[in-house]
Amino acid sequence: MPPRTSPPTNSDGDSVITVINEDTFITLAGDSVRLELMPLGATVRRFEVRLADGSWRNIVLGAANPADYLTTCRYLGMTVGRFANRIDGARFTLDGVEYVLDANEGANQLHGGTDGFHTRTWTIAGQGSDWVEFGLTSPDGDQGYPGALTVSTRYELVPGGAQVTYRATTDAPTVVNLTTHPYFNLDGEASGSTDAHVLTVHASAYTPNRDDGIPTGEVRDVTGSAADFRAGRGFGEARLAADAEGITRNEGFDHSFVVDGEGMREHCRLTGASGLTLTVESDQPAIQVYGGEHFTIDGTQIGTSGAPYVRRPGIALETQHYPDSPNHPEFPSTVLRPGEEYLATTRWLVG
């Protein structure tokens, strides 16, 4: 783990760490990208990119009031765990022992439970001018999971974008699936619906869901279906086609796509109506694509710009393992054992 350093300063010599409403905000500022981060949930609150005319645009959704991250704006840009996505019946069996988890979405568990990692204020384990590392210890039995888990989340600027790296170790066998949960709108945060965005996903298969979002266990070829994003397609058009095919959830996509290849590779590309393009690279086996159907239009979800969000204001692109993996031995394993290290890296590049 990198050593703790003095707070970085900007070009004016001022500290880039400020305290607003008793919440700490950390800014990593580069020539073309700026990240605003929060220890609450190890969260990406703003992801700003410099445009050709020299102006800056924020391309991720975030809450104007930090307290809203725990109520109306859950998961926006936050770190989710100990297990991202859903676990059927909020239980799984490992080494012959059944573990009963906190159920926070009907009978199932979503994103680690009611008091998942997104609700925790992480420590600042270290930082430099272009990186910060957050740390968290999850005790044995936390939300029902076995083993004490030590976790770090490191955000850093890279040429043309930013990168997040997760590491974790355990003192007893457990399951782990960590991700950052950013909603992207490449035309600008609070600019409206993302239906006009074009999405390309390098996935020849996806995992169909039951009505409650739990995968059926099938890994289905995307060929000929509305879930085939390999050649790129308009997100709104694909959503309507998928709804007509009966493969959507809540009238939209909320599916895990099985990314072709192994190792660090391009998972997807997203292009806004303005022409700005985001490339997501990762070493994870899948990416969850969610269209933001839960957002309301009643003004209860206020973004960092101060404007309320409309329905489908951003597309969540979450690199991770398949949902409900602990209950599907045919899926890639999410088991972590003592002496092993969980390691996952995702890179967001903008151009």
Query: Is the confidence at residue 287, as pLDDT, over 60?
Result: yes
Return left, alpha or beta for 177; rule: phi > 0 is left, psi -120 to 50 is alpha, else beta: beta
Query: Is the confidence at residue 190, as pLDDT, over 50?
Result: yes
Q: Tell me the per-residue pLDDT of 115-160, one tens digit each, with 9 for 90 and over.
A: 999 999 999 999 999 999 999 999 999 999 999 999 999 999 999 9
Tokens found for residue 238? 């694909």
Catalytic residues, by residue number, are 181, 318
Query: Is the confidence at residue 38, as pLDDT, over 70?
Result: yes
How far apart CA 140 and CA 160 sit, in angstroms, is 39
Query: Is the confidence at residue 179, as pLDDT, over 50?
Result: yes
User: What number is the average pLDDT over the span 203-222?
Assistant: 97
β-strand partners of 289? 255, 317
Q: Quick one: pLDDT at residue 10? A: 41
Domains within the chain, CATH numbers bracketed? 17-182+329-350 (2.70.98.10), 187-327 (2.70.98.10)
Tokens found for residue 124? 């600042």
How far apart CA 104 and CA 107 sit, in angstroms, is 7
Q: Tell me the per-residue pLDDT of 243-278, one tens digit each, with 9 for 90 and over.
A: 999 999 888 999 999 999 999 999 999 999 999 999
Query: Is the confidence at residue 32, as pLDDT, over 60?
Result: yes
Beta-strand pair 233-234/198-201: antiparallel
Helices marked H in the chain — which ranges?
Answer: 235-245
